[in-house]
Structure 1
Amino acid sequence: MVETILVFPAGLPDAQRFRAQAQARGARVIGASSLGFDAAAADYEAWETLPYVHEDGFAQALGEAVRRCGVQAVFSPHEVVSGVLADVLETVAPGVRLIAPNPALATERDYEALTARAEDCESRWFALSDGQPPLTTIERAGLLRLLDTIPGMSDLDKAAALIGAMRHAPEGDVVEIGSWWGRSAALLVMLARRWDIGSVLCVDPWANSHLDQGVAVLDQASARISAEAAFRIFQINLAPLAGGRLNYLRAPSTEAAQAYRPGLTVRTDTFGTTAYEGRISLLHIDGNHAYENVAADAEAWVPRVKPGGWIVFDDYVWAFGDGPRRVGDAWLERLGDKVALAFVIGTALFVKLTP
């Protein structure tokens, strides 16, 4: 049975988000407003005009609308309206449920949970004594809230480790191989700006022809997604954050490496002009995970990492193969006594070079 939901007031941003999610689940969503004209009406399958909640006749009009439209549930993102609905709904429309009452309280609880996550994200285990002043809990919470708005695979453990690594990174460029929607790039640029480390360079071809990783189930999934859409999403996510400290090279990693040099300047329409030192403070390798591709990425970029810098092999622990692990292990052996510290957290291998 299709559920019918009344959203009131229906033009608020949270109301529109709820509408889109409910419609995606197959619900019939009816909008309502007290305005004489509300442009949001065009987004709903049906529309009701109700008195303001403080006006006489609101409760009666609400009950009539619920019965007329066959409403089973009501949602309001407005704290005042939600409170009135909680008071009158059972009387005027018995059995109709109020979705997510007390939205302000729910927001407060969300931020309490976010603060708890930020406290868990503090890298107390990072056994390095030097480095930049640590982020406050409020700063970490703000970063995590930002990451929550960007889709991607980076989890809390990896975020904590990247925060710790960037705090103990030398000045230089931050290079990411494989940025896709920009989740980890957002974290890196915010940290690079916070500690004035350097500029972030995102390297990704954003092309479906480069998504084949030699694993049938992954390649089938890749065939259903659009690299061009991912490139647009990346720009949308990073445009407000870059601040002149982030840009991209849309090219395979090995081609981009040929352009990377001291004094490099990259200009794009979205991010403007960004200058690079040409030596890497932190290298995040998260491109195509087929062994040959990871090996080529590392060969092209690891030698550019400065003494004291970091190399992060993402998905060192990978459910679909061992390409990143084989390459990471080979570079640990190859670097030998140049490795000051190496550890695996979550699914990533972090390697810090000696100063």
Structure 2
Amino acid sequence: MNTTTILIFPLDIDDADVFIRTAKALGLTVVGASSAMAGPGDKAVDGFTRLPFITDPAFDQALQNALEQHAVTTVHAPHQGVWRHLDTLLKTHPARFRFTLCSPDPFSATQRRFAPHEAWAALMSSDSPLAGLAMPQAIRPPLSPARYSALHRQFLSIPGDSDVGKLRALCDIARLLPPGDLLEVGCLYGRSAFALGYLARQYTLGSMICVDPWNTAELTDQGAAAAIINVELANTDIDSERIFRVFLNAAALLDNMGYIRATSEKATGQYEAAIRSGALHSPELGSIPVSGRLSLLHVDANHRYDHVRRDVELWSPYLAEGGWLLLDDYVWAFGDGPRRVGDELLGSPFYDSAFVSGDTLFLRRTGVR
């Protein structure tokens, strides 16, 4: 039985929200406290207490009373001044105050939160392992550490299965791409799509187009080997409209991203119409220019063989010479659709270079049509 009770003070700091969700997911009892709030408001806490400001002479006694009343064992203080005062109380009055103060202090916690983004960005300053594929054109220069750090941070904030290894490969491949539209089939929350759109914007490549129906009624099974995934097709708790809203939340940060909310079969007609008009209009995102020439095609929709093959058939004719085709989950535990299609393409005259990074197969288009 859980005996941990956490007091969060002050409750009105934004960082408290993340901590509350984590604590509740672990089954912990959470009590909120504030000097400014009259009650818990919309905070999902189990109890609430009002405390004086730490500058008030009555604060220490009020805190001691609250700790005893709620049987508090641990305190999380997301405010630097509050944290420092509580740390001082523990050191100067160890017999009076017996609780665990979450550490590190808020300032140090912020530094730790940003450190991985800066460390990853520093790795990107090294030479690209794909430099040899840039001939005859020169490889583009890397982005600045600040831009890589910002991309890494936003990428990880978007739900998705693409990892930072794939992000590194996308950053490297962006330095080789010819100008043109980038298009992803199967976006879900848009983690990899955001990365591609960001890179396209930084290198002035073109528009990022996302193709996905965001409609569970239009989804089909991914093959017998993916039975554990297929059962989710009947999961009524999955709200595709909410998934779409999460996608928009990130996509709206970029002015070169648009979407076609349809399956590949239906989306090609809308893409053709956009080519003729010169622009694609996406509700809430606005209009983006469309060239009709794909710099990069990322296939990450249904992984069943016939679906992967059809996605490639529909979209690869738009792929420019020197453009890249990416087959997600070429290495996949739940089937061999992407691998079978990828292996067929490896033996074709349409692609002259290829490599695998993580679970994705990257292929460069030749001029053969």
Do the aligned partners of residues 41 and 294 (structure 1) sit closer, same or farther apart at CA in structure 2, a change above 3 Å counting?
closer
Deviations 1:262-317 (A, max 9, x none): 33532232111222111101100101101010000000011110011111111111
Task: Give how far 1:116 is off.
Answer: 1.8
Task: Give how far 1:48 is off.
Answer: 1.3
Matched, 1:292 2:326: no
Task: Give how far 1:103 is off.
Answer: 1.8
Do the aligned partners of residues 132 and 163 (structure 1) sit closer, same or farther apart at CA in structure 2, a change above 3 Å counting?
same
| Structure 1 residue identity aligned to 2:9 | F
| Aligned position for 1:231 | 244
CA RMSD of aligned residues (A): 2.0
Task: Give how far 1:12 is off.
Answer: 1.0
| Aligned position for 2:128 | 124
Q: TM-score, normalised by structure 2?
A: 0.89
Q: After the TM superposition, which of the residue ranges 287-296 and 42-51 deviates more from structure 2?
A: 42-51
Matched, 1:175 2:175: no
| Structure 2 residue identity aligned to 1:341 | S
Deviations 1:141-192 (A, max 9, x none): 1110011110101111111111111121111100000000010111111111
Task: Give how far 1:59 is off.
Answer: 1.6
| Aligned position for 2:361 | 349
Do the aligned partners of residues 39 and 301 (structure 1) sit closer, same or farther apart at CA in structure 2, a change above 3 Å counting?
same
| Structure 2 residue identity aligned to 1:291 | Y
| Aligned position for 1:213 | 222
Do the aligned partners of residues 124 and 273 (structure 1) sit closer, same or farther apart at CA in structure 2, a change above 3 Å counting?
closer
Aligned ranges 1:31-42 → 2 under 5 Å: 31-35=32-36, 37=38, 40=41
Task: Give how far 1:108 is off.
Answer: 1.1
Alpha-carbon distance between aligned partners in 2 of 1:163 and 1:42, rounded to the nearest angstrom: 39
Check whether the contact 2:39–2:48 (CA below 8 A) recurs between aligned residues: no
Alpha-carbon distance between aligned partners in 2 of 1:199 and 1:36, rounded to the nearest angstrom: 46
Do the aligned partners of residues 170 and 36 (structure 1) sit closer, same or farther apart at CA in structure 2, a change above 3 Å counting?
closer
| Structure 1 residue identity aligned to 2:222 | Q
Matched, 1:258 2:295: no
| Aligned position for 2:259 | 248
Matched-pair identity in %: 38
Task: Give how far 1:69 is off.
Answer: 1.1
SS in 1 for 2:131: coil
Task: Give how far 1:211 is off.
Answer: 4.4
User: Which runs of structure 1 show a deviation greater than 4 angstroms over 4 or more consecutive aligned residues?
Assistant: none
Matched, 1:301 2:315: yes
Q: After the TM superposition, which of the residue ranges 292-301 and 101-110 deviates more from structure 2?
A: 101-110
Alpha-carbon distance between aligned partners in 1 of 2:128 and 2:282, rounded to the nearest angstrom: 39
| Aligned position for 2:114 | 111
Alpha-carbon distance between aligned partners in 1 of 2:200 and 2:261, rounded to the nearest angstrom: 21
Q: Give the number of aligned pairs.
A: 351
Alpha-carbon distance between aligned partners in 2 of 1:329 and 1:127, rounded to the nearest angstrom: 24
Aligned ranges 1:49-64 → 2 under 5 Å: 49-64=50-65
SS in 2 for 1:83: helix
Structure 1: runs of 5 or more not aligned:
none
Deviations 1:99-146 (A, max 9, x none): 233121122123222222223345631224513221122221111001
| Structure 2 residue identity aligned to 1:108 | Q
Aligned ranges 1:22-171 → 2 under 5 Å: 22-35=23-36, 37=38, 40=41, 43-89=44-90, 91=94, 94-121=97-124, 124-128=128-132, 129=134, 130-171=138-179
Alpha-carbon distance between aligned partners in 2 of 1:36 and 1:350, rounded to the nearest angstrom: 54
SS in 2 for 1:260: helix
Alpha-carbon distance between aligned partners in 2 of 1:301 and 1:323, rounded to the nearest angstrom: 17
Alpha-carbon distance between aligned partners in 2 of 1:167 and 1:48, rounded to the nearest angstrom: 55
SS in 2 for 1:270: coil
Deviations 1:202-245 (A, max 9, x none): 00111223142122101123433332322121112212x231x1
Do the aligned partners of residues 305 and 66 (structure 1) sit closer, same or farther apart at CA in structure 2, a change above 3 Å counting?
same
Q: After the TM superposition, which of the residue ranges 257-266 and 65-74 deviates more from structure 2?
A: 257-266
Check whether the contact 1:131–1:169 (CA below 8 A) recurs between aligned residues: no
Check whether the contact 2:9–2:77 (CA below 8 A) recurs between aligned residues: yes
Q: After the TM superposition, which of the residue ranges 96-105 and 141-150 deviates more from structure 2?
A: 96-105
Check whether the contact 1:121–1:156 (CA below 8 A) recurs between aligned residues: no
SS in 2 for 1:193: helix
Check whether the contact 1:173–1:281 (CA below 8 A) recurs between aligned residues: yes
| Aligned position for 1:185 | 193
